[in-house]
Amino acid sequence: MSLTLHAHPLASFCWKVLIGLYENDIAFENVLVDLGDPAGREAFLKLSPMGKMPALRDDARDETVIETTVILDYLDAHYLGHVRFTPSNPDFAWRMRFWDRFFDNYVQTPMQKIVADRLRPPEAKDGFGVDEAYGQLAQACDHLESVLADGRAWMCGDFGLADCAAFPALFYADKVQAFEGRWPLCLQYLERLKDRPSVQRVLTEAKPFFKFFPEG
């Protein structure tokens, strides 16, 4: 098999790429990365020097691709399916990329800061940083709520790159700062995403690992 994805079923950024692979029925081998295992960590760092998951290895083209947006760009270029993640029209493309960056930078980043703090010992907690992250996450959800008021189903017309980014970001954001009663349109968008078979498959694969998610 040409493609191998090195990932972890609980990692939100890995979901982004998995959704894309499943949307287009792209054949690949899914290799679980255990950064807690010294040998596994050493092997993964050879693929992804910064230790960030996921990493896509394409043996047929002798390429290793990291960073989720870049991986989906790579799939568009070399394994194009019925879903084109970034539209060919440049004006649609920059809008799609904006929303991809929005979910990664303004939803994922503060959400991950909150989750990471839950894993720290009491003496290492960062209360100021966590409060700041909650504020940033709320600001992002407020903006997304206002945009979704126009009735759009997906962020940029057809399902694409931004929606692949949106699901993992919103799924975990809802766990750290519940949408219900505050951001109903964000919640509805999240539920639409959950209805997609690709997303359901990702959730099924992740389910055995949810017990490791640190609840508040």
- Identify whether 138 is part of a domain: yes
Contacts (Cβ under 8 Å, ≥6 apart) of 58: 2, 3, 64, 65, 74, 78
Both 30 and 105 in a single domain?
A: no
Residues 50-78 pLDDT 10s: 999 999 999 999 999 999 999 999 999 99
Check residue 215 and give its pLDDT.
81
CB 5 within 8 A of CB 18: yes
Both 52 and 96 in a single domain?
A: no
Both 159 and 118 in a single domain?
A: yes
**Which whole number is the average pLDDT over 36-54?**
92
Both 55 and 8 in a single domain?
A: yes
Amino acid at the residue 122: P
Residue 116 sits in which domain range? 90-196
Both 24 and 52 in a single domain?
A: yes
Both 117 and 182 in a single domain?
A: yes
Lowest mean pLDDT among 30-44, 150-164, 176-190: 30-44
The number of distinct structural domains making up the chain is 2
Both 52 and 102 in a single domain?
A: no
Both 98 and 162 in a single domain?
A: yes
